[in-house]
């Protein structure tokens, strides 16, 4: 079992029930293949940086999971078949999933002083 993360771009015209059905369908594919979902996130519909299958927008899904290697193959095969998935990318997380909330992206780095070493003394 290794840890992977996959980003899936769903067709932007899939909304409501259709969309929910796709989410459930692919979650089920993962679980059926003997993987354990660690994190699931819906990023919502975003503008794509370039056209994918003639679409300028896409709905992003993020899922991190532990899975045996053959499960990835099957999961990706199913995604290729489904027309409502316009793109996906799976990355192997060598260090496992770090529990760092991605949502904590409040403000950028406020002050940038050169050569300043901040040694945290807690």
Partner 1 sequence: MAYEKKPARPAGGPRRRFTRRKGCRFCGDKDLTIDYKEIRGLRYFVSERGKIVPRRISGNCAEHQRKINEAIKRARNIALLPFTSAHSFD
Binding site residues, partner 1, CB under 8 A = 7, 9, 48-52, 56, 58, 62, 87-89, 91, 100, 102, 105, 108, 112, 114-115, 117-118
Closest approach of Cβ 109 to partner 1, in Å?
8
Residues 6 or more apart whose CB falls under 8 angstroms from that of 92 comprise: 2, 3, 4
Query: Which C-beta is closer to partner 1: that of 81 or that of 106?
Result: 106
Query: Which C-beta is closer to partner 1: that of 32 or that of 51?
Result: 51
From the CB of residue 47, how many other CB atoms can be counted at a distance below 10 Å?
A: 8
Query: Which C-beta is closer to partner 1: that of 37 or that of 51?
Result: 51
Query: Which C-beta is closer to partner 1: that of 34 or that of 89?
Result: 89
């Amino acid at each position: 079992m290794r840890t992977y993360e996959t980003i899936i771009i769903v067709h932007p015209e899939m909304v409501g029930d259709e969309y929910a059905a796709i989410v459930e369908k692919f979650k089920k594919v993962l679980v059926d293949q003997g993987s354990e979902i660690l994190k699931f996130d819906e990023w919502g519909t975003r503008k794509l940086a370039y056209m994918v299958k003639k679409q300028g927008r896409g709905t992003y899904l993020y899922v991190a999971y532990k899975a045996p290697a053959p499960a990835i193959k099957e999961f990706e095969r199913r995604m290729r078949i489904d027309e409502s998935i316009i793109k996906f990318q799976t990355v192997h997380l060598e260090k496992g999933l770090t529990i760092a909330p991605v949502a904590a992206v409040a403000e950028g780095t406020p002050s940038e002083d050169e050569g300043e070493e901040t040694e945290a003394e807690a």
